Chain A
Amino acid sequence: MSKNVLGYSSTTARSCLLGLIFSALAGLTLVASAQECITVAAPNGLTAEWPQQLELAELEAQTGSSLTFSDNPLFAQAVAAGQLPPVDERLPAEPLVVIPYESCGVYGGSLRGTSRAPESGTSEFLSWRQVNLVRMSDDLRTIVPNVAKSWTWNDDLSAITFVLREGHKWSDGSPFTADDVVFYIDDLVKNQELHGTVPAPWLVAGEPVVVEKVDDLTFTFRFAAPNPGLLHYFATGGSYFAPYAPAEHYKPYHISYNQNADQEARDAGFDGWTQRFGQIWDKWKDAEVLTAHALTRPTLESHVLEIEADTQRRVFVANPYYFKVDTRGQQLPYVDRHIERFLDPELNILAILNGEVHQKAQGVRLADYPLLKENEAAGGYAMRLPPGSVGSHIAFNITHRDPVLRQIYGDVRFRQAMSLAIDRDELNETLYFGLGTPKQALPPKSPFTTDADRNYMIDFDVDRANALLDEMGMARGSDGRRVRPDGRPMQILWEYSSQFASPELVQLVSDYWRDVGISVQSREITSALTREKAWNNENDINMEWDAPYEPNLISQINYYIPPYTDIGPLFGVPWLNWINSGGSEGEKPPPWAARMFELAEEWRSIQPGTERYLEIGRELVQINLENMTIIGLVSNLPGPTVVADSLRNVTEWQVQHFNYGRTYPVRPDQWYFGN
């Protein structure tokens, strides 16, 4: 079957559903009477192709009766006054049926949350509301329909055709069609004035994507080469960048559709149409809700902006045209409003203690867990500790500008010694309450890593570390410090930003290294500076704190080969330049690094889960480990999260990761307030 080409056979997909939804009653045709609430907890014999959700037709076929829709009383007045059509006309002809985790909810209430700033990495409210063509299901492997009803790949995975839901409407009631996708690709992504170059996911093998509209509900993306990672991109890392935009809304501001757009923008005080457009449209969905313009811009999300952000808060209200219903036919979302306040970290903690925050994960530090846990009852919330990030990891700059340092950091024995000198258990106990796992920093949850990989050279072995350093010829001087090849005492200049390490972590690691004769001078600097230095190849040590999860790695393999990230490289920028320029710039990478570039190129075109896919994954892991490119410290760091006691249908979180906009699986559109 075509939907499931992702390397996981339908049986795999089905079997994981088994535990979640299936009951022994699978044989029954009529599983439940109409309007009865079927839940994940009590499926009543309902079977579904995808976990926790199904299409209306599927549900009606199994229950034998058609679903009657109902909606939030919030809209009743507007409906009665004729300002809003009744719910049957607002929903798509084929709404997506969500099977609630615990129970069908009751409407009402305001969900209170916090964020550090209107647009930053600490706002759940922004990641929650995201909808894209597809989403990642709770097993973190299966990709399931969302805005799109279905999709079909061509044979070599270079073209994909999506089918939308009939009658799907934007939040202002205007129809959502394939035109909105074509507009996004042709007039936004490929517009030279808005984007100098076509952004990464849409540029495959150097060629931009081609979008074709088949009919109002059907469109095809064509790429110059196989692009199997596209769905993973939509479902995870790219979930902020839905590939559609309300065309009719944006056309008056766009030069291709309005010749006067530029003059109008200038009259309104902008430098030109692109500047104005940049303010009302952004590929970042969170940037779009910064301004009052978002009050009029239609969206497909569960909540639409009601009060724009001032410097203190912003309010979202339920979208009357949202395309999902529960198994009883109630339109989602249940919660009337999302109210988000902007608070600094310490105030955020106080607000949580005071019971003013219904859910919070981003920006809650592990160190605050004891305080928050102690005050659970008083604040009316419960703490959860879902597994979190890979944890801070360290990379020595193998391509350091300074020739002596390059010689030292380029020596794999040095990097191995540094890994062996670290007491990870003490690190774990001292900094993370012993909740983490000492490990090398590998992509989490991947089928091609073994325990041996994860534990490679993580034992605390000072003797072996010393032996390796001695073997390099770095003898100890009179003050106990080891001497560099040029006779000067060895000292690492460790400049870190608080984004990747705390001063405590740096002190502990520096202490361990000092014990094997390598002294460290540390200094906290801004992340802008660390990046600048990283690009100039001046940093001794660069750091990262997370890596993509395995099924998503395919769309983000750049994170696992030099220079590891584009914006804050770990090392190997000259190698990348050499590859990109075809050998005319930069430096020729060593064979092992060259092999990584090769493997990554091949990986991008291979179906996840296939034998070759696993082989490449294994080899990449091996190369990274053998060369000790990255020194992992303590992984699986749980991130404390807060959930109000009154909140229902909040499923257990299995992971916290930037790929998923933080805690996942998360379905806030089915959250509601119980007693």
Chain B
Amino acid sequence: MNVLRFLGFRLLSMVGTLLAVSVVAFVIIQLPPGDFADAYVAQKNQTGAAFTQAELLNLRHNLGLDRPWYVQYLSWISGIFLRLDFGFSWEWQRPVSELIADRLPLTLALAFSTLLFMYGIALPIGIYSAVRQYSIADHSFSLIGYIGLATPNFLLALIMMYFGQQWFGQSVGGLFSPHFEGQPFTWAKFIDLLAHLWVPVVVLGTAGTAFLVRSMRAVLLDELDKMYVVAARAGGIHPLRLLIKYPVRLALIPIVATLGWRLTYVISGAPIVGVVMGLPDTGPLFLKSLLNQDMQLAGALVFIFCALTVIGTFVSDILLALLDPRIQLSG
């Protein structure tokens, strides 16, 4: 009963948070001076075309940008809740849901690949570092990890892309080589995808990996010091078997439980990397919509990012509660 109440409470507060965030997001997105009509005119002006003030006002009126923000917000949010209609992107001239359907799968694929990469690399290294504490390898891993943590990832992305192009002639600005774009999915295309995917995954994963290695190492060290390990070791159990069977399993609990938070972290870090690398994920779409004040697209993306964040936290809370019976479920 307790669990159900807890779940119900959490779900309700999630919806509340989402709504509140959508209002705030909408307000702050339109806070900067200018609106989409201005951005559109700026773009047009770069073509050198004569755009008159009258045309600008006409455009603003046609897009409904001359209405107060709350009217714009209400018509947009009611669309989401009543018709599951996320609105219309003025810049791309397409329904927002189409654009997101276009881009979200890749965002998620990228996020999950990064998670896989992070955990795949971090757990073995963390275990090794804990077992061989203060060895040269331990020190070098933590140094590399720290540097990964300290390097701004947009910088890393650009540098890796440049050398990827210079050394391997790798195509840029997407996850496929140009000749595979628009082609049906084949084995060769899949290999091509992998060849492109590793760069963003590494860039996105470095900082998180370093963090995970450190947590895994610390938690495992705590476990290794415990009496039962000492006792078991004294009892002559094979060290490796002992390690895998008890301390590692126990140490994994908090690491796995934070999976949801890691996911959130990856998703919120992704836009900048996506922008630098021109990935066909939601990142560039998001930044552009913000800069152009393409309100409904930007709002919908904030809504979705926020939903992912909230869900990620929720999943972590649940995992933590399920895996560690010491934690009490309470509001």
Contacts and interface: CB of A to CB of B under 8 A. Distances in A.
| Direct A–B contact in the complex, CB atoms closer than 8 angstroms | yes
A565 B49 CA distance: 11
B56 interface: yes
B44 interface: yes
Nearest to A271: B64
A528 B50 CA distance: 15
A117 B288 contact: yes
A343 interface: yes
Contacts of B277: 347
A236 B280 CA distance: 35
A121 interface: yes
A125 interface: no
Nearest to B55: A199
Interface stretch (A141-149, A209-217, A272-280): A272-280
A311 B34 CA distance: 24
B188 interface: no
Contacts of A197: 54
Contacts of A237: 48-50
Nearest to B275: A344
Most chain B Cβ neighbours within 10 Å, of A119, A279, A307: A119
B299 to A, nearest CB: 17
Interface in B236-285: 275-278, 280, 284-285
A497 B34 CA distance: 14
A73 B158 CA distance: 43
A139 B181 CA distance: 40
A347 B33 contact: no
Contacts of B181: 312-313, 341
B274 to A, nearest CB: 10
A108 interface: no
Given A291-B93, A528-B38, A347 B49 contact: no
Query: Which of the four size classes fits the interface of chain A?
Result: 35 or more
A53 interface: no
Contact of A531 (B38, B43, B166): B38
Interface string B69-92: 000000000000000010000011
A350 B49 contact: no
Contact of B182 (A112, A307, A354, A526): A307
Contacts of B33: 526, 528-529, 532
A546 interface: yes
Interface string A176-200: 0000000000000000000111011
A46 interface: no
Contacts of B93: 118-119, 279, 287, 290-291
B172 A350 contact: yes
Given A117-B288, A118-B92, A121-B44, A343 B50 contact: no
A454 B168 CA distance: 49
A240 interface: yes
Contact of B178 (A290, A309, A341): A341
Contact of A117 (B41, B91, B275): B91
Contact of A121 (B43, B52, B53, B169): B43
B292 to A, nearest CB: 9
A556 interface: yes
A224 interface: no
A120 B38 contact: no
A45 to B, nearest CB: 40
Nearest to A660: B48
Interface in A621-675: 657-659, 661
A355 B10 CA distance: 53
B34 A351 contact: no
Most chain A Cβ neighbours within 10 Å, of B45, B48, B51: B48
A54 interface: no
Interface string A269-296: 1010011001100001001001100000
Given A315-B182, A567-B56, A351 B173 contact: yes
Nearest to B277: A347
B50 A200 contact: yes
Contact of B58 (A196, A275, A532): A196
A87 interface: no
B165 interface: yes
Contact of A350 (B94, B162, B275): B162
A546 B48 contact: yes
A529 B173 contact: no
B203 to A, nearest CB: 15
B62 interface: yes
A350 B34 contact: no
Contacts of B46: 120-122, 499
B55 A528 contact: no
A602 interface: no
Interface string A526-537: 111101100100
Interface string B144-183: 0000000000000010011001100111111000100110
A346 interface: yes
Contacts of B53: 535, 566-567
Nearest to B282: A311
B276 to A, nearest CB: 8
Interface string A352-390: 011010000000000000000000000000000000000
A121 B39 CA distance: 12
Contacts of B51: 566-567
A350 B196 CA distance: 14
Contacts of A112: 178
B131 interface: no
A658 B182 contact: no
Contacts of B229: none
B62 A350 contact: no
Given A121-B46, A556-B50, A659-B48, A290 B92 contact: yes
Most chain A Cβ neighbours within 10 Å, of B94, B162, B285: B94
B322 interface: no
A310 interface: yes
B189 interface: no
A568 interface: yes
Interface string A562-591: 000111100000000000000000000000
Given A527-B42, A528-B39, A310 B52 contact: no
Contacts of B319: none
B152 to A, nearest CB: 16
Contacts of B55: 199
A658 B54 contact: no
A287 B40 CA distance: 11
A370 to B, nearest CB: 15
B47 interface: yes
A515 B99 CA distance: 53
A346 B43 contact: no
A311 B285 contact: yes
Contact of A499 (B42, B56, B172): B42
A440 B213 CA distance: 62
18 contacts: A195-B58, A197-B54, A271-B64, A284-B49, A291-B93, A291-B94, A307-B182, A311-B102, A312-B280, A313-B182, A344-B284, A347-B161, A354-B172, A526-B32, A526-B33, A529-B33, A566-B53, A658-B47
8 closest A-B pairs by CB: A658-B48, A121-B46, A528-B34, A528-B38, A347-B173, A121-B47, A347-B278, A290-B93
Interface of A: 112, 117-122, 195-197, 199-200, 237, 240, 269, 271, 274-275, 278-279, 284, 287, 290-291, 307, 309-313, 315, 339, 341, 343-344, 346-348, 350-351, 353-354, 356, 497, 499, 526-529, 531-532, 535, 546, 556, 558, 565-568, 657-659, 661
Given A112-B178, A341-B181, 8 more contacts: A311-B103, A339-B178, A347-B161, A497-B42, A526-B42, A529-B33, A565-B50, A566-B50
